[in-house]
Chain A
Amino acid sequence: MRDKMIGSLKEALKVMGLADGMTLSFHHHLRNGDAVLNGTLDAAFSLGVSGLTVAASSIFPVHAPLVEHIRKGTVSRLEVNYMSGPVADFVSRGGIAEPVIFRTHGGRPRSIESGELPIDIAVVAAPSADGRGNLTGTKGPSACGSLGYAMADARCAKRVLAVTDNPVDRVAPASIDQSLVDAVVTVDSIGDPAGIVSGTTRMPRDPVALVMARYAAMAIKASGLLADGVSFQTGAGGASLAAASYLRDMMRDLGVVGSFGMGGITSHMVRFLREGLVKRLYDVQCFDLEAVKSIAEDERHVEVSASLYASPGTKGPLVDDLDVVILGATEIDLDFNVNVHTDSSGRIIGGSGGHSDTAAGAKLAVVVAPLVRSRLPIVVDRVTTVSTPGDTVDLLVTERGIAVNPRRPELREALDRAGLPVMSIRELREIALSITGVPRSSRPKGRTVGIVEYRDGSLIDRISEVS
């Protein structure tokens, strides 16, 4: 079939053979602007199917209607890398009977490619698609840049359904090519551009974030890794962006040229490329319009699959080549275990994403977090949920001091020599408590609502229902 175009989502799902109990997968490149997951489940509901598993790389607040589909029985299981908003709240309160499986950005493609997570129908939101099923994310009214999180799904699912709002004559080169795609549906809109990418990711003005960022950059410099060929990943959060900005100044001053920058790509990472401070960007997800523009135009800005990015099943994912990664945390404990899944009351507010993949791969994993956030200490005796094991985390940078994992004594010496405010994580905990007092523990004790898988598929923690 040269022309794979089908008139409606409902019809396409019928053609794909949608049946009770099947697994549908979705990617999160349209982030909080995504209309495809909701539209697909509405269509599935109208077909009267039930007991579906939704394997979405991430769930955002925009996916609130999913709650109703769970209540009605259309959906009975979720497998995600990250979730926030009403669906996460619903799960935390015990709204779904089956525990949600949380994976990492690398663990998800590993489990898809190994057959642990079989997908019946991969639903791929495609900002541009042609009639043969070639897809790209770089063009169209809902352009999102990279389609890295959809690639394993497209390769391994029994059936692949592309959903686009920008049918074109020919997509070449394609991010996902026609040999993988069974059908293409055109809809009015696959998403709200305002929720897909931001204009430009803005540098923070919060002075505390700037202090942490400066310490993080100084610590990276002191580690000795800031030399020619350095590779790094920074997040799109405030302190992470600011740290990247300090790093850029340092690289320029030192005349250092890095090898690659990676991860979710922002305008700030694009500047590294344009200014010749890195030779390549490996992009599994674009965060802003500058990044989308860059991936479309600059061949040094390379789209990569989540599998190549982070899967331990690929015999050498890109995360293994990382020198430095800057990460966040909602909690970190005295053993350096990090929680990014739940808040301190145990409510689900996120997920690993690439957190534990990059921490495991990078030579230097730097967690940046304020010591006190909303009156609560970030350093705790024991994290509510283990997302990333402490033996893969090297540094905790806070506004009041830096703690080095005791398994890195040489790093501690280097930071001491650089005059940085190094202290033990226990001392940081004491300082935090001297400000906040000892908070009453509110660790939830309900039934298991979430299972946290490490990147290799092993069970790392469980998330309990909150009352």
Chain B
Amino acid sequence: MKRRRSLLFVPGNNPGMVANAGVFGADGVIFDLEDAVAQDQKDGARILVRNALAVLPMKGCERIVRINSMDRPIWLEDLEAVVAGGADSIMLPKAQSRAEMEELDRALSDAEKRVGREEGALDVIALVETPTGVENSGDIATARRVSGMLLGAEDLTAALGVPRTVDGEEISYARGRMVMAAKAAGIDAIDTPFTDTDDMEGLVKDVLFARSIGFDGKALISPRHVEAVNRAFTPTDGEMEWARAVVRALEEGERAGKGAVSVGGKMVDAPVAARARKTLAMRGEA
């Protein structure tokens, strides 16, 4: 199971940061060709990221590239370069509709064919950051290749004309809607970055909240956030103990021919069993 607890944004035009992107322990790195890169540096960033993808050792780290949005013609140049470079996934900003996702899928297939990669090799993570995108998240989530959806709260609140707050009340609908759409489609729901790089306490609170409402991971803008985010999205020892007890009880019940089992006085039914197994899998226990 590919984990996406932490996806770290790295500006595609900064050689030092690109070179070190893989060392922070993030499950994935998002090389950014979009907002972090000034207009007159787009070409340089594209070349840097393509070469980095081709040569940098980044064992066990998913290599995602955020290309420019489809309303700018350079998105196709980005796509060609990063498919050739060997990216694992593409992140499409301002994802708004099923039709766009289908167009991206076709363009990816063409690029894969041209550079000799297997058709369908690349995944897509849709970055949903407009009101239209949020409302269409169900359609986006079920499109071909889409394996994750990321909420972009900064652009979204700007479009809504409301301030972004630490508590995040203004994005609670979007968060809930995205989680529901992602889970219905069986893909990863990834939460918006926490933007105050020095507020570690606020970060932990924000991540734990995101996990509590169903997110699988979080995007990050600071390497210093990786450790805390990974920890928050990893089951605690207590949660692991509970999950092992549930699985043990199920196995014993099965051997004894019992229909129902309980752990700690609580009935273990199918969803509880599934949750326990998922918890174990998250820390690599079958």
- Which A residues contact B (CB, under 8 angstroms)? 205, 207-208, 210-211, 214, 372, 399-400, 431, 434-435
B40-89: which residues lie under 8 A (CB-CB) from chain A?
A: 55-57
Contact call A399/B20, Cβ cutoff below 8 A: yes
Given the interface pairs A435-B55, A435-B57, the reply to whether A208 lies near B224 with Cβ below 8 Å is no
List the B side residues contacting A400 at CB < 8 Å.
Answer: 22-23, 57
Report how far A372 CA is from B21 CA in the complex, Å.
13
List the A side residues contacting B227 at CB < 8 Å.
Answer: 214
Known: A210-B223, A210-B224, A211-B223. 9 other contacts (CB 8 A): A207-B222, A208-B23, A211-B23, A211-B24, A399-B20, A399-B23, A400-B23, A431-B57, A434-B57
Contact call A207/B57, Cβ cutoff below 8 A: no
Q: How large is the interface on B (under 10, 10 to 19, 20 to 34, 35 or more residues)?
A: 10 to 19
**Closest residue on chain A to residue B198 by CB atoms:** A205
B86 to chain A, nearest CB (A): 14
Given the interface pairs A399-B20, A435-B19, the reply to whether A211 lies near B25 with Cβ below 8 Å is yes
Contact call A435/B56, Cβ cutoff below 8 A: yes
Contact call A434/B23, Cβ cutoff below 8 A: no
- Which B residues contact A (CB, under 8 angstroms)? 19-20, 22-25, 55-57, 222-224, 227
Report how far A399 CA is from B224 CA in the complex, Å.
14
List the B side residues contacting A434 at CB < 8 Å.
Answer: 55, 57
**Closest residue on chain A to residue B22 by CB atoms:** A400
List the A side residues contacting B222 at CB < 8 Å.
Answer: 207
A21 to chain B, nearest CB (A): 51
List the A side residues contacting B24 at CB < 8 Å.
Answer: 207, 211
List the A side residues contacting B20 at CB < 8 Å.
Answer: 207-208, 399
List the B side residues contacting A372 at CB < 8 Å.
Answer: 19
Report how far A1 CA is from B268 CA in the complex, Å.
92
Report how far A431 CA is from B222 CA in the complex, Å.
24
What would 6 A/B residue contacts be, using CB atoms closer than 8 Å? Answer: A205-B224, A207-B24, A400-B23, A400-B57, A435-B55, A435-B57
Contact call B223/A207, Cβ cutoff below 8 A: yes
List the B side residues contacting A210 at CB < 8 Å.
Answer: 223-224
List the B side residues contacting A207 at CB < 8 Å.
Answer: 20, 24, 222-224
A17 to chain B, nearest CB (A): 56
List the B side residues contacting A211 at CB < 8 Å.
Answer: 23-25, 223
Report how far A31 CA is from B223 CA in the complex, Å.
34
**Closest residue on chain B to residue A398 by CB atoms:** B23
Top 9 A-B residue pairs of the complex, sorted by shortest distance between their CB atoms: A207-B223, A399-B23, A431-B57, A208-B20, A207-B224, A211-B23, A400-B23, A434-B57, A211-B24
**Closest residue on chain A to residue B222 by CB atoms:** A207
A359 to chain B, nearest CB (A): 25
Report how far A127 CA is from B55 CA in the complex, Å.
55
Report how far A189 CA is from B237 CA in the complex, Å.
60
**Closest residue on chain B to residue A432 by CB atoms:** B57
List the B side residues contacting A208 at CB < 8 Å.
Answer: 20, 23
B61 to chain A, nearest CB (A): 11
Of A211, A372, A399, most B-chain CB atoms within 10 Å: A211
B212 to chain A, nearest CB (A): 25
List the B side residues contacting A399 at CB < 8 Å.
Answer: 20, 23
B142 to chain A, nearest CB (A): 37
Report how far A431 CA is from B56 CA in the complex, Å.
9
